[in-house]
Amino acid sequence: MVLGSSALAKDEREPLSEEIVVQGARTPERYLLGWHEYRSQHFVLDSDLPTWTAAELIRRLEKLRAAELRSLLADDLLVPGRVRVIASSASLLFTELARDRFFIGSFLRCQTFQLACSRLLSDDLFETYNVSRRGACDRDLYVSANYFVSRLGEPTIVLPVALGRVIPEVIAHELAHHLASVLFVRPPPWFREGFASFIQTLGGEPLENPPPTGTHIRTGERVIEGAVGLIPPGLMATLCRDHVTAGEALTWDGEEKPDRPARYHAQSWLLYHFLWNTHPRKLTEFQRRLANAEDPDLAWRQAFPEYDPKRPGALNRELLRYEMDTHGYVYYRRSGEADIRYSESALQPSDVHMLLLDARYSAQPQKVEWLGPELTKLLEEEPLQAVGVSWRAELDGRSPLPPLRKAVEKFPADWRAWFLLGRAEEDPDKKLVAYQTAVQLNQDSAWAQSGLASVLANGPNPWDALRYARRAVELAPWDARAAATLARVNALLNGCEGAIEMRRRAMLLGADADLQRHTDEVLAGCAPSRN
């Protein structure tokens, strides 16, 4: 299938209303100015940081990504696409955009290995540093960030930057969230955070490893560099301060209480660490089942029949013993090759505004009273900002089609405008051209690939849709719509086995009722049992 023209010929375009405003009348706020976009092999970094800081962040992102993949997988795994990263020192990133708040394992003045709780929480140990009464392994280690999927289906990381410093352990934690979304299908909250915290120590500060009290004999390295599977002082101090049971961790809904910060994160880390060291084969089996899109509760019962979440007494006791005696565990580190080259371009303030609105909405999905006024401001800055146009129309219950048609005229190289136009168009030929252009402009967009596949599947040759539907699932294995589209395409091509499997995956990923119904209509001719 050869992609068509990147735009409709002028004589084929429908006349546009002259009432559509095309020039902004509002001056952007100062915090939206001076942003740049840095594009590397696996990341798109949007930032107002100095160029040298952004370059260092690109380097750390690429190197930590390579190290995590090498540490997690025996074989090389191709993870296609790019992750968008929003990094800034603006205060709103800390207060409104970063909902994932947790403790890192090490930082300045918290770098001593294998200390007991009494010493981790003692002021005496850190008195020479004149730190707060709560100890050096407390306040300085509480950080915030975020990982979410944007309104355009892009995996996105929010990284607040304090004093020009990006903490590698925070980067490693959020990258682990992304890799978990690629490797596993709908993992439970305890697993998501336990896995990320287990991996994050790869980016930790070097740890001093003194001999145990009462001896001069040291076990292991004198200085322990960042590695996967460490038990660092910061995470142990979190457990020392507060605690939940294993049963509570297994049934955790993913939300922490502000007055008892990160206690579920810490307990989830301990649970994952315990399983990895004491039940490695069973943990591997559990993870295999998650990767195969099995129900998480059923996968747990199959892999760990001895640990009933409804009767967690045995697991609680074993986990407590493990916490009290963590000697003898294994940690490891591996490095991978990374390409740290990047290109740079300026970002329009209206695009920055939309990035921040999207991130804020992901962090505050239940508090949307601010959304309408902010979208109004955005569209006063740039009336044809495509995502803002589409979002505003959705809130108002009207079609975004007229302004989106104008948007692709004003911004013909904006893949977002073409993608959203394709979604809004009703004419099949115009919808096809819009999606084709969006894919040409951004081959990393799973939603553009999936949209194109849907249109082609309804055409005279559904085989043309297959490669785009497959690519969408490769780019976004966490996305229900991409899985449902591939299910439909497989069914149209009489690939019922693959269609049924993709339908099951789409349902597990949370396909809505309309998507289920649309998929089931196409799969009606396949095997009668799809449960």
pLDDT in tens, 477-520: 999 999 999 999 999 998 889 999 998 899 888 878 777 787 77
Does residue 448 sit within a domain? no
CA distance 167 to 223: 19
**Helix (H) or strand (E) segment spanning residue 36:** strand 36-39
Does residue 462 sit within a domain? no
Per residue in 394-433, pLDDT tens?
Answer: 999 999 999 999 999 999 999 999 999 999 999 999 999 9
Question: Amino acid identity, residue 190?
Answer: W
Q: Which residue has the higher pLDDT, 170 or 95?
A: 170
Confidence of residue 3 (pLDDT cuts 50, 70, 90): very low
Return the closest-CA partner of residue 31 out of 328, 349, 494: 349
Does residue 171 sit within a domain? yes
Does residue 54 sit within a domain? yes
Burial class (CB in 10 A: 0-12, 13-18, 19+), 175: buried
CA distance 243 to 264: 8
Return the closest-CA partner of residue 53 out of 30, 87, 104: 87
Per-residue confidence (pLDDT) for residue 385, from 0 to 100: 97
Confidence of residue 139 (pLDDT cuts 50, 70, 90): confident
Return the closest-CA partner of residue 486 out of 461, 506, 507, 509: 506
Does residue 241 sit within a domain? yes
CA distance 519 to 526: 12
Per-residue confidence (pLDDT) for residue 449, from 0 to 100: 98
Helix extents (H) in 158-252:
168-183, 189-200, 233-241, 246-250
Cα dihedral 378/379/380/383 (nearest 10): 140
Does residue 335 sit within a domain? no
**Helix (H) or strand (E) segment spanning residue 315:** helix 313-324
Burial class (CB in 10 A: 0-12, 13-18, 19+), 521: exposed
Per-residue confidence (pLDDT) for residue 125, from 0 to 100: 42
Per residue in 353-383, pLDDT tens?
Answer: 999 999 999 988 777 899 999 999 999 999 9
Return the closest-CA partner of residue 195 out of 251, 99, 285, 270: 270
CA distance 101 to 143: 6
CA distance 233 to 112: 7
CA distance 371 to 367: 9
Q: Residue range 193-218: average pLDDT?
A: 80
**Model-level pTM?**
0.89
Return the closest-CA partner of residue 25 out of 268, 350, 461: 350
Percent of the chain with pLDDT over 90: 58
Query: 122: domain range?
Result: 30-324
Question: Amino acid identity, residue 414?
Answer: D
pLDDT at 24 over 80: no
Per-residue confidence (pLDDT) for residue 5, from 0 to 100: 36
| Strand, helix or coil for residue 116 | coil
Per residue in 329-360, pLDDT tens?
Answer: 778 888 788 999 999 999 999 999 999 999 99
Does residue 111 sit within a domain? yes
Does residue 277 sit within a domain? yes
Low-confidence winner among 7-16, 215-224, 438-447 (lowest mean pLDDT): 7-16
CA distance 105 to 78: 29
Which DSSP category does 365 fall into? T
Tell me what the pLDDT averaged over the chain comes to. Answer: 86
Question: Amino acid identity, residue 459?
Answer: G
Per-residue confidence (pLDDT) for residue 527, from 0 to 100: 54
- Per DSSP (E only), the strands in 110-260 are 142-149, 155-160, 207-208, 223-224
Helix extents (H) in 121-167:
none
Per-residue confidence (pLDDT) for residue 92, from 0 to 100: 75
Residues β-bridged to residue 344: 38
| Strand, helix or coil for residue 159 | strand
Query: Could you count the other beta carbons within 10 Å of the beta carbon of residue 305?
Result: 9
CA distance 427 to 446: 22
Q: Phi/psi at 211 (nearest 5 deg)? A: -65, 150
| Strand, helix or coil for residue 519 | helix
Q: Would you say the C-alpha torsion 381, 383, 386, 388 has a positive or negative sign?
A: positive
Q: Residue range 96-115: average pLDDT?
A: 84
Per residue in 257-312, pLDDT tens?
Answer: 888 889 999 999 999 999 999 999 999 999 999 999 899 999 999 999 999 998 99
Query: Could you count the other beta carbons within 10 Å of the beta carbon of residue 473?
Result: 22
Per-residue confidence (pLDDT) for residue 519, from 0 to 100: 76
CA distance 347 to 350: 8
Q: Phi/psi at 165 (nearest 5 deg)? A: -115, 130
Using an 8 Å Cβ cutoff, are 190 and 297 in contact? no
3-state secondary structure 367-407: CCCCHHHHHHHHHHHCCCCHHHHHHHHHHHCCCCHHHHHHH
Query: Could you count the other beta carbons within 10 Å of the beta carbon of residue 353?
Result: 24
Query: How many structural domains comprise the chain?
Result: 1
Question: Amino acid identity, residue 367?
Answer: K
Tokens standing for residue 78 = 């191709």
Q: Report which listed range, 1-5, 24-28, 163-167, 450-454, is most confident.
A: 450-454
Q: Which residue has the higher pLDDT, 495 or 212?
A: 495
Using an 8 Å Cβ cutoff, are 267 and 239 in contact? yes
Gyration radius (Cα) of the chain, Å? 25
Q: How many residues appear in the chain?
A: 531
Q: Phi/psi at 149 (nearest 5 deg)? A: -105, 125
CB burial string 358-388: b at 16+ within 10 A, e below: bbbbbbeeeeeeebeebbebbbebbbbbbbb
